[in-house]
Amino acid sequence: MPYLGSEDAVHELRRSLSNPHIQADRLRYRNVIHKVIRYMTQGVDVSSVFMEMVKASATVDIVQKKLVYLYMCTYAPQKPDLALLAINTLCKDCTDPNPMVRGLALRSMCNLRMPGIQEYIQQPVQNGLKDKASYVRRVAVLGCAKIHTQQGDTDVDGAIVNELYSLLRDPDPIVLVNCLRALEEILRAEGGVVINKPIAHHLLNRVADLDHWGQSEVLMFLLRYKPRSDEEVFDILNILDSYLKSTHISVVMGATKLFLVLAKEFPHVQTDVLVRLKGPLLAACSSESREMCFAALCHVREILRSLPGHFSGHYKKFFCSYNDPHYIKNQKIDILCELVNDENVHNILEELRVCCTDVSTQLAHTAIFAIGRIARTYSEKCVKILAGLLEFKQEHITSAVIQTFRDLVWLCPQCVSSVCQALPGCEGNIQDTEGKQALIWLLGMHGEFIPNSPYILEEYVDNVKTETSTTVKMELLTGLLRLFLCRPAECQDILGRLIYHCIEEETNMAVRDRGLFYYRLLAFEVKEASKVLCGPKSDPSLGVLVDRTEQPINSWVTSFNTLTPLYEKRHWDSLSASLTKCQLSVVRQLVEELHLHEDSQVLQEPADQLNLVSKVTMTPELFEKEWTSIAAKQCLDISWKQEAEPDLLQTSLHVLNIYTIAKTKAGTQPWKSYLYAQDNNDNMFLVELVIGSKPSFLKATVKQASKHKDEEHALNSFVALLKSAVSTVLELSR
């Protein structure tokens, strides 16, 4: 029995499709076609039965037509000549009495991604726009957008645009929404669909007829309309009022944003709308969908920027659940810090204290730092909780608590005595660089209140030769010198040993220079050293709860109900800039590189130049089989920069039809990716990319499967193309 995906299995399908006995049995014939579609969806190349599938489209069975048209839309780019044979059948079906058949045929024609297809589908699409059946009109409207996309940079057809604008008054609501989407795509270069007063009021009157997603779309388009008077503004707001009570969160968010935009001159109206939004947002924050929950939490943070404490009465809604992912827990903890007041501070601190002992190190750090933020106002309660966490003697907890103490004594000098009482005995549980720096800073700055502070620093001095962190050594120099100025008798010998090591034995020049500077400063005069090092020990002028500065609603209303709150403004600006500039320039430059390679005389190509095809069938199993059976043809060491993004390189290679089949997670060291490509001479190229950061390097292993004699020439051309893609990415990463 032939196994799945073998040539024998495909030949068996072809024989079955050509068998007149099977064709006469309607059910058996459909089952064979089902098997073809099953193979196709599993990645098996069944393009060889294209002709038999075209013949199968001549049927009155609509289920069979759907299957055949799905097959043809998938393989038409690979078999353009044979696909043209199906055009007559599709055109005939576009005039079928059954509207389902007409719509299916029209949709399939618009999905045939092959050159020269536009001249065949323009007339059926125009006829479909005037069809009596609403389903056909829906398909025809979207077909207009598909035709425009396939034509590329050609001029916009004014007749089609006018027809689509007229169809905005179509009685079918889905046709209306599809018209908006199609016009937005066709007129993208001109700024999208224009919403004037007649269109805006027509859309407002039709919103009730739409489904939830259609309502969300229309509300988004209505943001472009600018009312001419306050009376018109309130008329629109009265129409939108009922949608603030919708059961669908996307409709509520869309209506809320439209309210906020239209009521820019009426802050009290904006505030009332946000009060009404509280219920739907809290419900979304408790949603089982993690994505919806995260988006709702991000928007809660946006609202709290202008209305601090707005959700204080519902603070328990933001307590962390055991099965919440870390990114949701982080958002909830940040929100809890914003909601703290005299009534709920005890419960919120107890919730955060539990989170501090979570098995996740990241969550524990987030909760500890959150308690430190709350301690700016409720210092006594928070310091007591933080000091209690030191009793667990866990390395990551102790380190985070010490870092929090360091920041707290700088902002709240009244906490110094409590913090100093908690510090002794915790030095043995700190191994990370940040924790050591924080502890040394505290001992140096407030060591006069800690009896054994010189002896704690002495342990660090005794182990300075095994210390690998430069920042810890420099902090140790500064901290010990500060402690020496207030407790000279106990620290003189310790400081002398440390300075001697830094000047005579230390290999790091930054540490050596600082040690030499302090030595000369002390040799000149101790009082001068005191002036240099003994600055202010705290700065309470930073204020209490500096994160709660109220911002006007209009400062963030344009980003409401978008991706901006999810990324935060600063990150979104940098991300969108990189997407619009860097990646587009990569695509443009790589396409130019491809053309340069096609015309290059350096490669000394014959008439049949390297041309990588866009449709390649490859499965992980097949890739592994080929990779293990083929010897490496070339191994490359290519220069790489640490600031260059591997994902950007992958995007660039995808533009050149070099596809990724597997890769490691982002941030993994070293980062690996496996890629494949095929040229028009059936040369298959398999690539392994390995990128490391310490030191930066890129290694590429290229393998080739070929049945032609000119395989070496094709391999050289592919390697040159790969190198040019890497060099372009590095150039753009400067």
* Residue 667 pLDDT grade (very low, low, confident, very high; cuts 50, 70, 90): low
Q: Judge whether 460 lies within some domain.
A: yes
Give the burial class of 405: count Cβ atoms within 10 A of its Cβ; 0-12 exposed, 13-18 middle, 19 or more buried. buried
* Residue 547 pLDDT grade (very low, low, confident, very high; cuts 50, 70, 90): very low
Q: Judge whether 416 lies within some domain.
A: no
Identity (one letter) of the amino acid at 472?
V
Q: Do 627 and 716 share a structural domain?
A: yes
Whole-number Å distance between alpha carbons of 702 and 718: 9
pLDDT tens, position by position, 215-247: 999 999 999 999 989 999 999 999 999 999 999
| 604/626: higher pLDDT | 626
- Structural contact between residues 397 and 356, judged by C-beta atoms closer than 8 angstroms: yes
Average pLDDT, integer, range 423-429: 87
> Final residue of a domain: which of 235, 254, 285?
285
Whole-number Å distance between alpha carbons of 530 and 231: 70
Whole-number Å distance between alpha carbons of 6 and 519: 80
Give the lowest-confidence range in 378-387, 397-406, 513-522, 670-679: 670-679
Task: Give the residue numbers spanning the domain of 478.
Answer: 432-549
Whole-number Å distance between alpha carbons of 431 and 434: 9
Q: Judge whether 279 lies within some domain.
A: yes
Asked if the model's pLDDT at residue 429 lies above 90, the reply is no
Q: Do 588 and 540 share a structural domain?
A: no
Tokens for 643? 């600031």
Question: Which pLDDT belongs to residue 354?
Answer: 94
Q: Do 583 and 539 share a structural domain?
A: no
pTM of structure: 0.72
Percent residues over pLDDT 70 in the chain? 90
Give the lowest-confidence range in 253-257, 500-504, 575-579, 682-686: 575-579
Q: Do 583 and 525 share a structural domain?
A: no
Whole-number Å distance between alpha carbons of 34 and 17: 11
Residue 618, sorted as left (phi over 0), alpha (psi -120 to 50) or beta, turns out to be beta
Q: Judge whether 209 lies within some domain.
A: yes
Q: Judge whether 413 lies within some domain.
A: no
Whole-number Å distance between alpha carbons of 704 and 328: 46
- Structural contact between residues 698 and 639, judged by C-beta atoms closer than 8 angstroms: yes
Asked if the model's pLDDT at residue 586 lies above 50, the reply is no
> Of 159, 221, 225, nearest to 184 (Cα)?
221
> Final residue of a domain: which of 533, 549, 565?
549
Q: How many CB atoms are located within 10 Å of the residue 701 CB?
A: 16
Question: What's the Cα-to-Cα distance from 316 to each of 237, 297, 340, rounded to whole Å?
Answer: 33, 14, 11
DSSP per residue, 660-691: EEEEPPTT-SSEEEEEEEEBTT--EEEEEEEE
Question: Which pLDDT belongs to residue 513?
Answer: 94
Q: Do 725 and 619 share a structural domain?
A: yes
Domain count, the chain: 3
Question: Which pLDDT belongs to residue 234?
Answer: 93
Tokens for 355? 């989170």
Helix 379-389 to helix 361-374 angle (10° resolution) is 150
Question: Which pLDDT belongs to residue 596?
Answer: 44
Asked if the model's pLDDT at residue 368 lies above 50, the reply is yes
Average pLDDT of the chain is: 85
Helix and strand counts by DSSP (H, E) for the chain: 36, 5
pLDDT tens, position by position, 138-165: 999 999 998 888 876 566 788 889 999 9
pLDDT tens, position by position, 105-140: 999 888 887 777 778 888 899 999 999 999 999 999
Helix 711-732 to helix 584-599 angle (10° resolution) is 150
Give the lowest-confidence range in 204-213, 262-271, 280-289, 578-587: 578-587
Backbone angles phi, psi at 669, to 5 degrees: -120, 125
Tokens for 29? 């014939």
Q: Judge whether 567 lies within some domain.
A: no
Residue 697's DSSP bridge partners are 692
Percent residues over pLDDT 90 in the chain? 48
> Final residue of a domain: which of 266, 285, 304?
285
Asked if the model's pLDDT at residue 543 lies above 70, the reply is no
* Residue 396 pLDDT grade (very low, low, confident, very high; cuts 50, 70, 90): very high
Question: What's the Cα-to-Cα distance from 90 to each of 290, 476, 570, rounded to whole Å?
Answer: 44, 80, 51
Q: Judge whether 25 lies within some domain.
A: no
Question: Which pLDDT belongs to residue 154?
Answer: 65
Give the lowest-confidence range in 432-446, 489-503, 546-560: 546-560
Whole-number Å distance between alpha carbons of 85 and 72: 11
Asked if the model's pLDDT at residue 681 lies above 70, the reply is yes
What is the domain-level CATH number for residue 705?
A: 3.30.310.10
Q: Do 276 and 206 share a structural domain?
A: yes
Q: Do 476 and 608 share a structural domain?
A: no
Q: Which distant-in-sequence residues (6+ apart) come within 8 Å of 53 by Cβ?
A: 17, 33, 36, 68, 71, 72
Q: Do 651 and 517 share a structural domain?
A: no
Q: Do 703 and 593 share a structural domain?
A: yes
Average pLDDT, integer, range 176-191: 91
Backbone angles phi, psi at 586, to 5 degrees: -60, -45
Q: Judge whether 56 lies within some domain.
A: no
Give SS3 for 638: strand
> Of 461, 424, 418, 417, nearest to 439 (Cα)?
424
Q: Do 726 and 582 share a structural domain?
A: yes
Asked if the model's pLDDT at residue 607 lies above 50, the reply is no
Asked if the model's pLDDT at residue 54 lies above 80, the reply is yes
Whole-number Å distance between alpha carbons of 292 and 213: 15
Residue recorded with tokens 């949709």? 107
Q: Do 660 and 728 share a structural domain?
A: yes
b (16+ CB within 10 A) / e for 43-67: ebbbbebbebbbbbbebeeeebbbb
Give the lowest-confidence range in 112-116, 207-211, 220-224, 482-486: 112-116
Q: Do 724 and 584 share a structural domain?
A: yes
Q: Rg of the Cα trace of the chain?
A: 34
The number of CA neighbours under 13 Å toward the Cβ of 139 is 24
pLDDT tens, position by position, 11-42: 888 888 888 888 888 889 999 999 999 988 88
